[in-house]
Amino acid sequence: MALDSAQATRAATMDKIVALCKRRGFVYPGSDIYGGLANTWDYGPLGVELKNNIKQLWWKTFVHRRPDMIGLDAAILMHPKVWEASGHVVNFNDPLVDCKTCKSRFRADHLLEDKLGIGDAATKTPAEMTAILQDANLACPNCGNRTLTDARQFNMMFSTTIGPVSTTSQRVYLRPETAQGIFVQYKNLLATSRVKLPFGAGQIGKAFRNEITPGNFIFRVLEFEQMEIEYFAKPEESAAAFESWLGAMWAWIRLIGLDDAHVRVREHSREELSHYSSRTLDFEYDFPGTMGWKELYGLANRTDFDLARHQETSGVDLTYFDQAANTRYLPHVIEPTFGVERTFLTVMLDAYDEEETVDVNGKADTRVVLRLAPRLAPYKAAVLPLARKPELTAVARELFTTLQDELDTLVDYDETANIGKRYRRQDEIGTPFCLTVDFDSLEDGAVTVRDRDTMAQERIAIADAPAYLRHRVR
């Protein structure tokens, strides 16, 4: 496949990111000592920091800093009627194809797209997909035999039971999206928060989907986190709210440091729209290699579909009383939705860089550097005594404690290995600044600050270090 210019100049490949994530403690395969459980991943010491930084920044940006937004943290398990009302029991299906020989499973629409180049595959019925697959006599991508079954619908919700397994136990679902928690609490949110239209509720939480063909590292997993907003507006103002959220989502993409050239917006065709949507846009990211453009985030106009369905199913009046107009109506809902894992992955892919340089002995070397936006970096700075000598480590430890306290953020301390190796380690994990305490520090009360991106070094007074960093790591 020919690479476009943006791809050609990128250092990151999925394999390099997976390897770095494991090597440096960002992401490990789930249940690793048991050989792993397919498509589950655990976040290590640095991964959990990056993930938390993403979620905190999102919450600050979209909930704390907006007067028209409030927060919610709804339960994962919800009344089964929620999923009947939302349409998930009937509509939340993916078309599944099995290989009779090797038992591999595939999404029929993905086979049509990836193997036969059919762009609008998602709009086709299982029968249409089956006919196309049969006409093409497509071989199983795994074993090469021409033994693919017909496409059939497969519901993606995980289910479990509440109570001991008996006739009295209740079947419930693990939520496949966080959105429904907001719709179901809409009346309570309205009654208890003094909000008026337009307003929105934001929520961050786990969602679960029994994906047929998960994969591509953490891009498509069974258990993931969503950062979702349901924004309630007057029906006639919902189109304007949609445009305004489109701008807010672009601003977020820039805030987390993604390159505009790697992100595009794709409008769903009429046939492709979900059952609840009158308009949907996907923010797509240009993933490296053969993966190409895939969904990063979504923005949908869910109209009054969800509130109307919950009103009908629960029998509870969910209309909004508009005092100014003295009328009642169901608001329309704009939904910006963000995946935490896809944010994590794209931030890592965009930040990853390799630079040709020379090592301390003057030999050619490649420097791997993670150019993370400082506000997302797991460590904002690292304090490094030049040598493991008590007089240096005492000063370094004191500086480390001061920085942790005054910046109220995570700082690393490392006194192992030679200084060159320690710089490289910090480069690879995206630490924006290294502060080195050397023998001169004992005389002049200053340290050397090394910039991760430029490797430029400057000398600053130890006393000025918190203020120096505070402005640079926000």
Please give the residue whose beta carbon sits closest to ligand ATP in the complex. 339
Distance between CA 28 and CA 33 in Å, rounded? Answer: 11
Question: What are phi and psi for residue 105, nearest 5 degrees?
Answer: -120, 145
Shorter beta-carbon distance to ligand ATP: residue 286 or 412: 286
* Site track 267-306 with ligand ATP (rule: CB under 6 A), x = hit: ----------------------------x-xx--------
Kindly tell me which residue out of 124, 175, 187, 209 binds ligand ATP, with binding defined by CB under 6 A: 209
CB of 179 to ligand ATP, least distance (A): 9
Shorter beta-carbon distance to ligand ATP: residue 342 or 452: 342
Kindly tell me which residue out of 121, 221, 281, 434 binds ligand ATP, with binding defined by CB under 6 A: 221
**322: contact with ligand ATP by CB under 6 A:** no
CB-facing half-sphere around the CA of 171: CA atoms within 13 A:
7
Distance between CA 263 and CA 88 in Å, rounded? Answer: 29
Shorter beta-carbon distance to ligand ATP: residue 207 or 462: 207
Q: Which stretch binds ligand ATP (CB under 6 A): 162-170, 307-315, 333-341, 421-429?
A: 333-341
CB of 275 to ligand ATP, least distance (A): 12
Distance between CA 212 and CA 293 in Å, rounded? Answer: 20
Shorter beta-carbon distance to ligand ATP: residue 189 or 221: 221
**51: contact with ligand ATP by CB under 6 A:** no
**Contact between 432 and 468 (Cβ < 8 Å):** no
**448: contact with ligand ATP by CB under 6 A:** no
Q: Which stretch binds ligand ATP (CB under 6 A): 12-20, 27-35, 41-49, 334-342?
A: 334-342
**Contact between 333 and 306 (Cβ < 8 Å):** yes
Using CA atoms in the order 55, 60, 66, 68, what is the torsion angle rounded to 10 degrees? 50
Question: What are phi and psi for residue 183, nearest 5 degrees?
Answer: -65, -40
**339: contact with ligand ATP by CB under 6 A:** yes
Kindly tell me which residue out of 10, 175, 187, 220 binds ligand ATP, with binding defined by CB under 6 A: 220
Shorter beta-carbon distance to ligand ATP: residue 58 or 379: 58
**114: contact with ligand ATP by CB under 6 A:** no
Restricted to residues 139-178, the positions that interact with ligand ATP (CB under 6 A) are 177
* Site track 415-434 with ligand ATP (rule: CB under 6 A), x = hit: --------------------
**224: contact with ligand ATP by CB under 6 A:** yes
Q: If DSSP codes are grouped into helix, strand and coil, which group holds residue 321? A: strand
Q: Classify residue 171 by burial, with Cβ atoms within 10 Å: 0-12, 13-18, 19+.
A: exposed
What residues have CB less than 8 Å from 178, skipping those under 6 apart? Answer: 74, 203, 204, 205, 207, 226, 228
Tell me the residue ranges of DSSP E strands in 290-432.
292-303, 320-322, 327-329, 332-339, 352-358, 364-370, 381-385, 411-413
Shorter beta-carbon distance to ligand ATP: residue 335 or 412: 335
CB of 264 to ligand ATP, least distance (A): 14
CB of 139 to ligand ATP, least distance (A): 25
Restricted to residues 342-361, the positions that interact with ligand ATP (CB under 6 A) are 342
Task: Give, for 112, the enclosing helix (H) or strand (E).
Answer: helix 108-116
**396: contact with ligand ATP by CB under 6 A:** no
**336: contact with ligand ATP by CB under 6 A:** no
Shorter beta-carbon distance to ligand ATP: residue 41 or 468: 41
What residues have CB less than 8 Å from 443, skipping those under 6 apart? Answer: none
Restricted to residues 364-393, the positions that interact with ligand ATP (CB under 6 A) are none
**68: contact with ligand ATP by CB under 6 A:** no
Q: If DSSP codes are grouped into helix, strand and coil, which group holds residue 77? A: strand
DSSP code for 237 = G
Sign of the C-alpha dihedral, residues 288, 292, 295, 299? Answer: positive
Q: Which stretch binds ligand ATP (CB under 6 A): 1-9, 71-79, 219-227, 443-451?
A: 219-227
CB of 44 to ligand ATP, least distance (A): 18
Binding-site residue total for ligand ATP (CB under 6 A)? Answer: 14
Q: Classify residue 455 by burial, with Cβ atoms within 10 Å: 0-12, 13-18, 19+.
A: middle
CB-facing half-sphere around the CA of 442: CA atoms within 13 A:
11
Distance between CA 43 and CA 214 in Å, rounded? Answer: 18
**107: contact with ligand ATP by CB under 6 A:** no
Q: If DSSP codes are grouped into helix, strand and coil, which group holds residue 195? A: coil
Shorter beta-carbon distance to ligand ATP: residue 211 or 415: 211
Binding site for ligand ATP (CB under 6 A): 177, 209, 211, 220-221, 224, 226, 295, 297-298, 337, 339, 341-342
